[in-house]
RNA sequence: GCCACCAUAGCUCAAUUGGCAGAGCGCCUGUUUUGUAAACAGGUUGUUCUGGGUUCGAGUCCCAGUGGUGGCUCCA
């Protein structure tokens, strides 16, 4: 047990050093390759190369083999300090290194030209075997410290990556590797990866008949199958009820709107790359809407408003369409048409903090009820050097302060990331990771002084003066599609009973038990449960297997004894057999589990 | 969008140097009537992603497109 930072750990040094050894092997295979950078990352390391030709599986195998051989030869890592001139000489045929050297010498800068560190007059290089890299370290003393059997580079496919993360610059080949202290840890890692694939929402979505994405309909446009639609509908109704309790008002608006709407809102230029082409309607241009806010603003403007009317909380499960880059599409987590569990709150300035906190509490409630505790909260603020934002500095500052105050007040563990704001205002996002550790933004709350200005929204205050409301945009799920994708992985397809598309299946042991099975089915249906009797002409054991694989919470086996005693024999999806329960007892207990939104399936 | 890889039955996958397109599961029919994860038998299932090209002959080789996967860039 240690709480040392990853950067200080032996594993970090092992991975960093393994990256250098991989680069050495790569340069033997491709002597004309140019090397870029090769840092340790979570679970491993990578190195970026500019290669003369595409790399294939054979190359990877060769490099991996060679790399392991080099590791086994116990080469020392030696550190040397050099002057910039010496460094330029050493890396004279490595243009990427030369660029890095110049940056270090001039003093590294962030993306906006702000200084990160002072200009360097000495640089450090590390050498092992025949390979020297510009590097700050740290490294292991010797390759002896790295077990070749705990290293692999063939586990993940080579990938493309832009030099310095800039899509306008050279695209490099990134080779990923993983390295651990022991071979057993590598085996465990492999096993974790395999487990993760089984939980992948795209795999489970097919297995559990939740959704399909059909090329003829269009990529990024999921089709919800009955099981998935039930899941989605259940979530929607659950959130809708919670919101109604908290004073939200339902509204319904169309999926497209006149382009003037988006020009007024200011969205139009910002979404130019990610919206579908305008549709010509009798000479006017219409957009498939990329967001719902302008429609809600117009609802606000449809009547004069008094300070007494505020806050107004308009809620809609609003479907939006965004033309996402094809390479970005992925299952349900990144699609081109999705439904935002949207609401826009129009509030007086004096109500802002309270309303904002209420929204954060609502999101915490939603996440908490689903057992999702593994998220991080990010406050996205304006990047001070960028001009992609609209609105007054003072308003931005006010909004940012309001968000930080609310988070402090709620004791939320947040961190601030400049440049992550919406174009119209700062925001608080809830970010989770999927099974493959990719991060996805789910819930979001945004404070906005700009749209009220642009749409000239007003209310008449107590002193009979017209004033501007403040808007809060918020979506606890973010989008139904992404949220459900994450939820599938969170539960590994074994949903709590209240969410399970089918809560119980009744399995008659023999055909002669079918009537009783139907009777039980009807009774449970009248008690509002989602159940079905499986009357297929096949044996009981195969039915148990089939429904077990679909993660049905409760399997109810019924035979002669059950008919005689008015019972059902309950088998849980955890494979636990509860034996015969009186019918009424089962219904009561099951309903209690469902009504309490419990994840518990034992009765 | 960019780099790389992949595409064979509803699903998972085979098919030797270019030489008759297959298996398991599923599905259909019949037999069987089963007390907790697969009864038995028979049958069915193909534009080998699409379009070109090379060849006596292409699932296999080449080109283009489409779709998918991994990554980058972007994002709910």
CB-count burial class (<10 Å; 0-12, 13-18, 19+) for A306:
exposed
Strand nucleotide closest to residue A339 (CA to C1'): B76
Q: What's residue A511's pLDDT?
A: 92
Residues A182 and A277 in one domain: no
**Listed range (A41-45, A193-197, A318-322, A455-459) with the worst mean pLDDT:** A193-197
CA angle A575, A579, A580 (to 5 degrees): 140
CA-to-C1' span, A131 to B72 (A): 27
Average pLDDT over residues A240-245: 98
Instruction: Reply yes or no on whether the pLDDT at A87 is more than 90.
Output: yes
Residues A470 and A419 in one domain: yes
Cβ(A224)–Cβ(A210) below 8 Å: yes
Strand nucleotide closest to residue A429 (CA to C1'): B76
Q: What's residue A185's pLDDT?
A: 96
Render A29-90 in DSSP notation, one character per residue: H-TT-EE----EETTEEEEEEE-SS---HHHHHHHHHHHHHHHHT-PBPEEEEE-HHHHHHH
Strand nucleotide closest to residue A174 (CA to C1'): B71
Return the closest-CA partner of residue A523 out of A585, A580, A597, A458: A585
In a domain, A378, yes or no: yes
> Three-state DSSP class for A156?
coil
Residue A346 token pair: 């129009």
- What pLDDT digit, counting tens, does each position of A184-223 carry? 999 999 989 988 899 999 999 999 999 999 988 999 999 9
Residues A391 and A470 in one domain: yes
Instruction: Reply yes or no on whether the pLDDT at A113 is more than 70.
Output: no
Residues A272 and A130 in one domain: no
ipTM: 0.94
Residues A484 and A514 in one domain: no
In a domain, A600, yes or no: no
Average pLDDT over residues A510-534: 96
CA-to-C1' span, A48 to B4 (A): 14
**Listed range (A292-301, A420-429, A454-463) with the worst mean pLDDT:** A420-429
Q: What's residue A436's pLDDT?
A: 79
Residues A449 and A527 in one domain: no
Average pLDDT over residues A261-268: 92
What range does the domain containing A556 cover?
Answer: 504-595
Residue A210 token pair: 């939740």
Mark the nucleotides of strand B covered by protein, meaning any atom under 7 Å from a CB. 1-5, 11, 26, 31-39, 66-76
Is A113 or A464 the better-scoring residue by pLDDT?
A464
In a domain, A602, yes or no: no
- What pLDDT digit, counting tens, does each position of A428-470 carry? 999 998 877 889 999 999 999 999 999 999 999 999 999 999 9
CA-to-C1' span, A335 to B14 (A): 34
Strand nucleotide closest to residue A573 (CA to C1'): B37
Q: The whole model's pTM is what?
A: 0.94
Residues A161 and A246 in one domain: no
Alpha-carbon distance of A177 to A419, in angstroms, equals 31
Q: What's residue A2's pLDDT?
A: 57
- What pLDDT digit, counting tens, does each position of A68-86 carry? 999 999 999 999 999 999 9
Render A404-453 in DSSP notation, one character per residue: HHHHHHHT--EEEEET-SBTTB-EEEEEEE-TT--EEEEEEEEEESHHHH
CA-to-C1' span, A206 to B12 (A): 13
Domain end among A192, A224, A248: A192
Residues A431 and A572 in one domain: no
In a domain, A198, yes or no: no
Q: Percentage of chain A surpassing pLDDT 90?
A: 82
Strand nucleotide closest to residue A325 (CA to C1'): B1
In a domain, A197, yes or no: no
Instruction: Reply yes or no on whether the pLDDT at A111 is more than 70.
Output: no
Residues A291 and A440 in one domain: yes
How are beta strands A531-533 and A470-475 bridged, if at all?
unpaired
- Dihedrals phi, psi of A269, to nearest 5 degrees: -65, -30
Residues A321 and A445 in one domain: yes
Residues A119 and A153 in one domain: yes
Residues A296 and A228 in one domain: yes
The mean pLDDT value of chain A amounts to 93
- Residue whose CA lies closest to nucleotide B5 C1': A157
Strand nucleotide closest to residue A173 (CA to C1'): B3
Instruction: Reply yes or no on whether the pLDDT at A23 is more than 60.
Output: yes
- What pLDDT digit, counting tens, does each position of A371-421 carry? 998 899 999 998 877 777 888 888 888 889 989 999 999 989 999 998 889
Is A385 or A273 the better-scoring residue by pLDDT?
A273
Which is it for the CA torsion A22, A23, A28, A32, positive or negative?
A: positive
Return the closest-CA partner of residue A319 out of A243, A445, A425, A222: A222
Q: Percentage of chain A surpassing pLDDT 70?
A: 98
Strand nucleotide closest to residue A539 (CA to C1'): B34
Strand nucleotide closest to residue A216 (CA to C1'): B67
CA-to-C1' span, A244 to B31 (A): 58
CA-to-C1' span, A61 to B16 (A): 24
Cross-strand partners of A586: none
CA-to-C1' span, A331 to B45 (A): 28
CA-to-C1' span, A327 to B49 (A): 19
Domain end among A164, A192, A220: A192
- Residue whose CA lies closest to nucleotide B36 C1': A541
Find the CATH number of the domain harbouring A354.
3.30.930.10
Q: How many domains does chain A have?
A: 3
In a domain, A45, yes or no: yes
CA-to-C1' span, A325 to B75 (A): 10
CA-to-C1' span, A525 to B40 (A): 36
Find the CATH number of the domain harbouring A575.
3.40.50.800
Domain end among A192, A223, A247: A192
In a domain, A427, yes or no: yes
CA-to-C1' span, A357 to B2 (A): 42
Confidence of residue A110 (pLDDT cuts 50, 70, 90): low
- What pLDDT digit, counting tens, does each position of A346-376 carry? 999 999 999 999 999 999 999 999 999 889 9
Strand nucleotide closest to residue A332 (CA to C1'): B76
Q: What's residue A1's pLDDT?
A: 45
Instruction: Reply yes or no on whether the pLDDT at A496 is more than 60.
Output: yes
Instruction: Reply yes or no on whether the pLDDT at A568 is more than 60.
Output: yes
């Amino acid at each position: 047990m240690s709480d040392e930072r990853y950067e200080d750990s032996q594993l970090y040094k092992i991975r960093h050093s393994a990256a250098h050894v991989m680069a050495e092997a790569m340069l033997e295979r491709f002597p004309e390759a140019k090397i870029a950078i090769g840092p340790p990352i979570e679970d491993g390391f990578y190195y970026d190369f500019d290669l003369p030709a595409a790399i294939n599986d054979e190359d990877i195998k060769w490099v991996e083999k060679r790399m392991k051989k080099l590791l086994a030869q116990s080469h020392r890592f030696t550190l040397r300090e050099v002057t910039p001139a010496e460094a330029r000489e050493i890396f004279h045929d490595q243009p990427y290194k030369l660029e890095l050297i110049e940056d270090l010498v001039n003093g590294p800068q962030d993306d906006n030209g702000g200084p990160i560190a002072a200009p360097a007059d000495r640089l450090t290089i590390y050498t092992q075997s025949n390979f020297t890299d510009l590097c700050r370290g740290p490294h292991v003393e010797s390759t002896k410290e790295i077990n070749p059997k705990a290293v692999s580079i063939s586990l993940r496919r080579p990938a493309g990556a832009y030099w310095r993360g800039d899509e306008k610059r050279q695209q490099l080949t990134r080779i990923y590797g993983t390295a651990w202290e022991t071979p057993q840890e590598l085996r465990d890692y492999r096993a974790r990866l395999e487990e993760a694939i089984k939980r992948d929402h795209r795999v489970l979505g097919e297995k559990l008949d939740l959704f399909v994405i059909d090329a003829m309909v269009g990529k990024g446009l999921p089709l919800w199958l009955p099981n998935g639609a039930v899941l989605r509908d259940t979530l929607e109704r659950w959130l809708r009820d919670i919101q109604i309790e908290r004073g939200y008002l339902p509204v319904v608006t169309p999926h497209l709107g006149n382009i003037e709407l988006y020009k007024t809102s200011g969205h139009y230029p910002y979404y130019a790359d990610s919206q579908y082409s305008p549709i010509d309607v009798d000479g006017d241009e219409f957009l498939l809407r990329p967001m719902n806010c302008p429609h809600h603003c117009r609802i606000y403007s449809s009547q004069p408003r008094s300070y007494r009317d505020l806050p107004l909380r308009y809620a809609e499960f609003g479907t939006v369409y965004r033309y996402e880059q094809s390479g970005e599409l992925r299952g349900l987590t990144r699609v081109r048409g999705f439904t935002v569990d949207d609401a826009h709150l129009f509030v007086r300035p004096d109500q802002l903090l309270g309303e904002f906190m209420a929204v954060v509490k609502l999101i915490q409630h939603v996440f908490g009820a689903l057992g999702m505790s593994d998220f991080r909260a990010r406050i996205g603020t304006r990047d001070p050097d960028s001009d992609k934002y609209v609105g007054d500095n003072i308003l931005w500052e006010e909004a940012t302060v309001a968000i930080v105050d609310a988070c402090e007040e709620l004791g939320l563990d947040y961190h601030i990331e400049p440049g992550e704001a919406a174009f119209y205002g700062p925001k608080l996002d809830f970010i989770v990771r999927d099974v493959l550790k990719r991060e996805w933004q789910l819930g979001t709350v945004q404070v906005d002084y700009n749209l009220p200005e642009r749409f000239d929204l007003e209310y008449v205050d107590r002193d009979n003066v017209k004033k501007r409301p403040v808007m809060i945009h918020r979506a606890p799920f973010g989008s139904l599609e992404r949220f459900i994708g994450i939820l599938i992985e969170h539960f590994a397809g074994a949903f709590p009973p209240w969410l399970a598309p089918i809560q119980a299946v009744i399995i008659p042991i023999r055909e002669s038990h079918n009537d009783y099975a139907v009777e039980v089915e009807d009774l449970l249906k009248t008690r509002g449960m989602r159940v079905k009797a499986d009357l297929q002409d096949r044996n009981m054991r195969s039915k148990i297997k089939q429904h077990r694989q679909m993660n049905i919470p409760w399997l109810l086996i019924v035979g002669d004894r059950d008919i005689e005693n008015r019972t059902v024999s309950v088998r849980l999806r955890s494979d636990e057999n509860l034996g015969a329960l009186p019918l009424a007892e089962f219904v009561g207990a099951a309903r209690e589990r469902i009504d309490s939104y419990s994840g518990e399936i034992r009765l």
